[in-house]
């Protein structure tokens, strides 16, 4: 596994390129790493709380209809049973995490198989689970049967898009064109830590240990749902075992534990089973995507069409934003992009790992490969010829874009052109080793850049150590390490001198972790707080912030130098940083870019496709920590492998239940599926992305990678497939 980091020229206008500590960007290990790997970091369900009762959710055994009665007496005599909580708020669907209000829905209505309808609370978990299985529920199924189970047959509403010029005409006059339709299946976030919550109510205030990504939003959702004020609630999530979108909003376990704790006046823990996580938390929508690409003799796009159909439950507003990066990635004056939303009865569709581009980019990049073949142009070259100078519809300039560099440097590092058997025009079925066809493929990556408002407090203590406090979460991404580095760099301290405390709503509220905005948003809040502290340190030294130099706990300025603790002279300095991004999308097109290169082998007899090696080259603004950034890239590429080859939510066509609701049946990649991965980071300074010039990293690795594998499957064995994942039955 190798990593190369190519650095942009330092931008001397940004203070992080002038500070002395030189710790920003370094591969600093996570301060939380040892606690996590030794099992001593407590996750939501793991707090030993006295007198804690155990709750198990009862879920709907039907797909659409209405609960007409819950017979608590059917289980109240069972051993250990304390209560059956039968509350309309339990049937609420999980929120999406970006709205302050939890979504409302008619009481007792069931919209999907596995939807929570009641909570059984008992003295221990086994008793609660047993009673939950025996609870008698009366219901009327099919009460909403005019809404179908299958998106193909459902009615759909347009969510808008872009129409420019005349795409049909461009397709007609094009030297080469493709008109292809792709299908992708639904995905599950499949976080390692199941959803869990422990709620405690002291009569005044509710304290909830939960596994959530965005506490600032989650506390608002929970307050709204329970009819409390935010001040009446404290949410704690210092460690989160993965989220991938499924914990952006509060979900049923948090609501159920809270309602039960308040009703029973005793702590209640609710942990979802793995099956419940898959069945009722949320899904990525399946998609159907039509790509129309038209180019001239030289491979220059004159027409670009991307139309997608996604689905959600009736009443839900989220529509998988499949076309997000297609809007600006490639040129083509005649454009038709349109998203439509079908209404079906599957669990709520929401943000799952790189919502939009995770499925939109693979379809686009697979279609680009078809076009490259038709036009007989190398796929890397085809992309290089079609980079627009500005956003093709809005005309907004790009804030920074290293797409060409990613394509070129990635191709070089992978050995795209000197692959031996790949000399000359690319043709399928050129190399075979035993019963395996070998092939290569590439694809581009793009993911819009998001930033969010964030606050953080930084305390510089008299002994010249610092404490960072914010409700920011670390969902396995490295927030503890990165925020420590930002503070250490700005205050001139060794990283070990900075303690980072996260995941507590009693701290200043940050962006949370989502949409790859966590590091740049929360990092900017810490940066702003430290800018303030630098000014105050300079004042103590009788100089200006521009003149002061801070390194290893020593302040130096023109004509003087003093250890920070002496300069502080017993004082503690405290600053709250408030980062409030302007709407950068008003003035710029901001995104991260990349390129994937894959070599696969495909078994001639079984159709099994395996990735031999894969490289991702990415340009995503300033790298704050080389090690955690690389880990994010590796994770993203791993998701790409899952999306390409194995991951699919499979619904029963008759009753609509999710058939593969555990990690044995829902196949995320395991070690055996993931070969040696190569990451090339092409660092850049994005002047508008955030004050620390960082863009999002986490999700980019999944935005197109599946197409590199799909294109390599075609190159290996000649099977041009139009459905992800490309399981052996489809390859054959």
Chain positions contacting ligand MOS, by CB under 6 A: 213, 243-245, 248, 351-353, 355, 514-515
CB 512 within 8 A of CB 518: yes
Q: Give the residue among 626, 624, 614 at the shortest CA–CA distance from 691.
A: 624
Query: Closer CB to ligand MOS, residue 399 or residue 477?
Result: 477
Query: Closer CB to ligand MOS, residue 67 or residue 191?
Result: 191
User: At its nearest, how many Å lie between ligand MOS and the CB of residue 73?
Assistant: 42
User: At its nearest, how many Å lie between ligand MOS and the CB of residue 477?
Assistant: 10
Locus of tokens 């999406």: 96
Residue-level length of the chain: 732
User: At its nearest, how many Å lie between ligand MOS and the CB of residue 220?
Assistant: 17
User: At its nearest, how many Å lie between ligand MOS and the CB of residue 632?
Assistant: 12
Give me the helix-helix angle, 626-645 and 705-717, nearest 10°: 50
Residues 6+ apart with CB under 8 A from 285: 151, 186, 310, 311, 312, 319, 320, 349
User: At its nearest, how many Å lie between ligand MOS and the CB of residue 695?
Assistant: 15
- In angstroms, the CA 63 to CA 185 distance is 19
User: At its nearest, how many Å lie between ligand MOS and the CB of residue 191?
Assistant: 10
- In angstroms, the CA 270 to CA 262 distance is 14
Query: Closer CB to ligand MOS, residue 388 or residue 514?
Result: 514
CB 107 within 8 A of CB 91: yes
Three-state DSSP state, 233 = strand
645 phi and psi angles, rounded to 5 deg: -120, -30
Query: Closer CB to ligand MOS, residue 238 or residue 299?
Result: 238
User: At its nearest, how many Å lie between ligand MOS and the CB of residue 58?
Assistant: 28
What is the token pair recorded at 678? Answer: 């190569």
User: How many Cβ atoms are within 10 Å of 580's Cβ, its own excluded?
Assistant: 12
User: At its nearest, how many Å lie between ligand MOS and the CB of residue 724?
Assistant: 18
User: At its nearest, how many Å lie between ligand MOS and the CB of residue 660?
Assistant: 20
Query: Closer CB to ligand MOS, residue 213 or residue 603?
Result: 213
User: At its nearest, how many Å lie between ligand MOS and the CB of residue 242?
Assistant: 10
CB 661 within 8 A of CB 275: yes
Query: Closer CB to ligand MOS, residue 320 or residue 405?
Result: 320
657 phi and psi angles, rounded to 5 deg: -75, 155
User: How many Cβ atoms are within 10 Å of 74's Cβ, its own excluded?
Assistant: 14
- Give the torsion sign (CA, 69, 74, 79, 82): positive
Closest residue to ligand MOS, based on beta-carbon distance: 245
Q: Which of 357, 365, 699, 723 is catalytic?
A: 699
CB 655 within 8 A of CB 34: no
DSSP 173: H
Give me the helix-helix angle, 626-645 and 357-375, nearest 10°: 70
Report in angstroms the alpha-carbon separations of 351 from 137, 236, 699: 31, 22, 12
Query: Closer CB to ligand MOS, residue 217 or residue 436?
Result: 217
User: How many Cβ atoms are within 10 Å of 731's Cβ, its own excluded?
Assistant: 18
What is the token pair recorded at 19? Answer: 């500070």
409 has catalytic annotation: no
Q: Give the residue among 7, 30, 24 at the shortest CA–CA distance from 492.
A: 24
- In angstroms, the CA 441 to CA 379 distance is 9
Query: Closer CB to ligand MOS, residue 287 or residue 430?
Result: 287
- Give the torsion sign (CA, 21, 26, 31, 34): negative
CA atoms within 13 A on the CB side of 412: 7
Query: Closer CB to ligand MOS, residue 352 or residue 680?
Result: 352
Three-state DSSP state, 252 = helix
- In angstroms, the CA 370 to CA 55 distance is 53
Query: Closer CB to ligand MOS, residue 358 or residue 407?
Result: 358
Active site residues per annotation: 699
């Amino acid at each position: 596994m190798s990593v190369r980091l190519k650095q942009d020229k330092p931008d001397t206008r940004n203070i992080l390129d002038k500070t002395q500590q030189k710790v920003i960007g370094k591969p600093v290990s996570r301060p939380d790493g040892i606690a996590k790997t030794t099992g001593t970091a407590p996750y939501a369900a793991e707090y030993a709380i006295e007198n804690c009762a155990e709750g198990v959710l009862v879920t709907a055994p039907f797909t659409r209809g209405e609960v007409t009665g819950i017979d608590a007496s059917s289980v109240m005599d069972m051993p250990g049973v304390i209560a059956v909580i039968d509350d309309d708020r339990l049937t609420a669907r999980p929120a999406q995490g970006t709205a302050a209000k939890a979504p409302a829905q008619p009481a007792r209505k069931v919209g999907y198989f596995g939807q929570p309808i009641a909570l059984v609370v008992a003295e221990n978990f086994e008793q609660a689970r047993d009673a939950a299985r025996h609870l008698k529920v009366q219901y009327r199924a099919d009460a909403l049967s005019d809404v179908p189970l299958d998106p193909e047959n459902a009615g759909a509403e347009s969510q808008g898009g872009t129409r420019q010029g005349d795409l049909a005409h461009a397709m007609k006059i094009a030297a080469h064109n493709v008109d292809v339709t792709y299908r992708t299946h639904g995905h599950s976030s499949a976080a390692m830590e199941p959803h869990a919550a422990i709620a405690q109510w002291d009569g005044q205030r509710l304290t909830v240990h939960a596994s959530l990504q965005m506490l600032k939003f989650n506390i608002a959702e929970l307050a709204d749902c329970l009819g409390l004020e935010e001040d009446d609630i404290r949410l704690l999530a210092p460690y989160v075992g993965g989220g991938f979108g499924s914990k952006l909003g509060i979900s049923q376990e948090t609501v159920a534990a809270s309602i039960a704790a308040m009703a029973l006046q005793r702590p209640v823990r609710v942990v979802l089973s793995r099956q419940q996580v898959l069945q009722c938390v949320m899904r990525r929508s399946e998609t159907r995507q039509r790509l129309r690409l038209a180019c001239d003799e030289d491979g220059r796009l004159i027409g670009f069409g991307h139309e997608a159909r996604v689905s959600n439950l009736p009443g839900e507003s989220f529509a998988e934003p499949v076309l997000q990066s297609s809007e600006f990635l490639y040129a083509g004056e005649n454009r038709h992009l349109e998203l439509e939303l079908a209404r079906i009865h599957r669990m709520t569709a929401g943000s799952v790992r790189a919502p939009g581009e995770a499925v939109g980019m693979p379809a686009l990049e697979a279609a680009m490969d078809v076009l490259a073949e038709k036009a007989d142009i190398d796929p890397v070259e085809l992309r290089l010829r079609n980079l627009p100078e500005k956003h093709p519809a809005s005309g907004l300039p790009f804030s920074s874009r290293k797409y060409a560099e990613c394509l070129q440097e990635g191709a070089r590092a992978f050995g795209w052109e000197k692959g031996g058997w790949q000399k000359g025009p690319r043709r399928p079925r050129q190399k075979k080793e035993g019963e395996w066809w070998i092939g290569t493929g590439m694809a581009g990556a793009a993911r819009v850049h998001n930033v969010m408002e964030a606050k953080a407090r930084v305390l510089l203590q008299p002994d010249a150590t610092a404490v960072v406090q914010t409700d920011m979460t670390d969902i396995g991404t490295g927030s503890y390490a990165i925020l420590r580095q930002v503070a250490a760099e700005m205050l001139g301290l060794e990283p070990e001198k900075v303690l980072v405390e996260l995941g507590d709503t009693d701290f200043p509220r940050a962006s949370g972790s989502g949409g790859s905005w966590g590091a740049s948003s929360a990092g900017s809040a810490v940066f702003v707080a430290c800018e303030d502290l630098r000014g105050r340190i300079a004042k103590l030294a009788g100089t200006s912030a521009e003149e002061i130099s801070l390194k290893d706990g020593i302040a130096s300025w023109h004509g003087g130098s003093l250890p920070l603790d002496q300069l502080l002279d017993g004082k503690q300095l405290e600053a709250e940083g408030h980062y409030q991004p302007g709407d950068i999308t008003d003035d710029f097109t901001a995104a991260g870019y990349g390129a994937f290169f894959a070599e696969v082998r495909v078994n001639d007899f079984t159709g099994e496709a395996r990735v031999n090696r894969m490289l991702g080259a990415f340009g995503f603004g300033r790298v704050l920590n080389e090690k955690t950034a690389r880990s994010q890239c590796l994770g993203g590429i791993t998701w790409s492998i899952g999306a390409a080859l194995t991951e699919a939510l499979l619904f029963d066509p008759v009753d609509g239940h999710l058939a593969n609701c555990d990690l044995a049946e829902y196949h995320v990649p395991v070690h055996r599926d993931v070969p040696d991965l190569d990451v090339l980071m092409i660092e850049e300074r994005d002047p508008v992305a955030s004050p620390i010039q960082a863009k999002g990293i986490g999700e980019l690795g999944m935005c197109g990678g599946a197409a590199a594998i799909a294109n390599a499957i075609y190159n290996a064995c000649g099977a041009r497939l139009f459905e992800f994942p490309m399981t052996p039955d489809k390859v054959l």
